[in-house]
Structure 1
Amino acid sequence: MLSQLRSAIVMMALFTVLTGVVYPLAITGVSQLAFAERANGSMIERNGVTVGSSLIGQNFTSERYFHGRPSATVGYDPSDATKTVDAPYNAANSAGSNLGPTSKKLVDRVNAAIEGEFAAGRIDVVAADAVTTSGSGLDPHISPQFALAQIPALAKARGLGEDRLRLLVEEHTEGRLMGVIGEPRVNVLLLNIALDALK
């Protein structure tokens, strides 16, 4: 009995060290050597300052920038910790809205978003991703259609030519993976950084 207990304790200690220390360190070392940028969060720097990650969207609200798709993430209400409030692109609380296509709340929210986009004069054609959230609530990409639809308002706000902005969107449009997987997309943060670099 004592020898079996000793064997069990030795095996538990051995596997704790192997799976809890050695394996994580080995995987971390390999990822740092082979994929350092991705392993460290795909951070983007501008003038020596980290401005975000290419993997997580940001809530651009200024008329001088391209806007991302709506985000359904929430955060705790500072005045009442038992409640939540909208907190777009809250990476600590990734979640979709979980509203189905027959949900009245979803239909009302999408209709309000459509009316808001038209009322603001930002777009004249509504792309689906302009008024719907992604599954994670953190998607950093928008469709080229949504980016192109924002150009007239952005050109007016920045005093730039629409053709120049159209070319910028085309330059930053990522194609399908291996030509077949996914949809063409534009990373909003990278696009806005390039927009700021325009003279």
Structure 2
Amino acid sequence: MKNIKSILPKAAVLILIITIICGVIYPLIITGISQVFFNNKANGSIIEVNGVKYGSELLGQQYTSNEYMWGRVMSVDTSTFTDSEGNSVMYAKAASNLTPASDEYKKLIAQRVQKIKDANPDADTDKIPVDLITGSGSGIDPGVSVAAAKYQVARIAKARNLSVSDVNKIIDKYTTGRLLGIFGESTVNVLKVNLALDGILN
């Protein structure tokens, strides 16, 4: 019993030291390093131009106008949440949880296919890239495949009275290649392309 009593204070001190090191000192050091050397990434990779923040390059935004590039399908709710003042709408994201084998899902895909075809009657191909009609696991992917981006070029060029070449140049500028040249696929950042189309990004 005496041995246990003598050990307890030492154990308590050890736990306190470990808590301070792991719970205070280490997080502060890592946070400091990230802020100094990786400031943009540590703060959400926010795209900011002239003091205006347009969003994170890591999170998708929903575009529906013909003059913009459309991203992957998003399942968002804008009717449930607002900010603390009750003024600005806040987006809520949730998976649909529909099985690909369900009739409801097949009907939904058919509707999306028709919507894409109607919006892009001048597309170079009738084959719609799959990422334009299906959502991702997160539902907020920031990019689309190069094929999905190119599929929309004719529509965007027509809506903005631009040449196809000009739109393609913007898409090419904001295309990220495969990791190390072999992993994954090339993707186009939708938000960056749309900001460039608006003249916000160069």
Give the TM bin, normalised by the shorter chain.
0.7 to 0.9
| Number of the residue aligned with 2:27 | 24
Identify the match of residue 69 of structure 2 among 59, 63, 66.
66
Q: Structure 2 CA distance, aligned partners of 1:144 and 1:192?
A: 15
Deviation track 1:160-184 (CA, whole Å, cap 9, x = no partner) reads 1122212222232211111101101
Q: Does 1:163 align with 2:165?
A: yes
5+ long unaligned stretches in structure 2: 82-89
Q: Which entry has the higher C-alpha Rg, 1 or 2?
A: 2
| Number of the residue aligned with 2:9 | 6
Superposition pairs for residues 154-193 of structure 1, below 5 Å? 154-193=156-195
Give the letter aligned to residue 156 of structure 1: K
Q: Structure 1 CA distance, aligned partners of 2:25 and 2:172?
A: 46
Give the letter aligned to residue 36 of structure 1: N
SS, match of residue 197 in structure 1: coil
Deviation track 1:126-146 (CA, whole Å, cap 9, x = no partner) reads 111101111111110011111
Superposition pairs for residues 12-161 of structure 1, below 5 Å? 12-74=15-77, 77=80, 90=92, 93=93, 96-121=95-120, 124-161=126-163
SS, match of residue 148 in structure 1: helix
Deviation track 1:41-61 (CA, whole Å, cap 9, x = no partner) reads 111112220111111111112
Contact 2:119 2:155 in 1 (8 A): no
Bigger shift: residues 146-155 or 164-173: 164-173
5+ long unaligned stretches in structure 1: 79-86
1:98 Cα deviation from its structure 2 partner: 4.3
Contact 1:97 1:133 in 2 (8 A): no
Contact 1:37 1:43 in 2 (8 A): yes
RMSD: 2.4
Q: 1:4 and 1:73, CA in 2 relative to 1: closer, same or farther beyond 3 A?
A: farther
Q: 1:104 and 1:12, CA in 2 relative to 1: closer, same or farther beyond 3 A?
A: farther
Contact 1:54 1:187 in 2 (8 A): yes
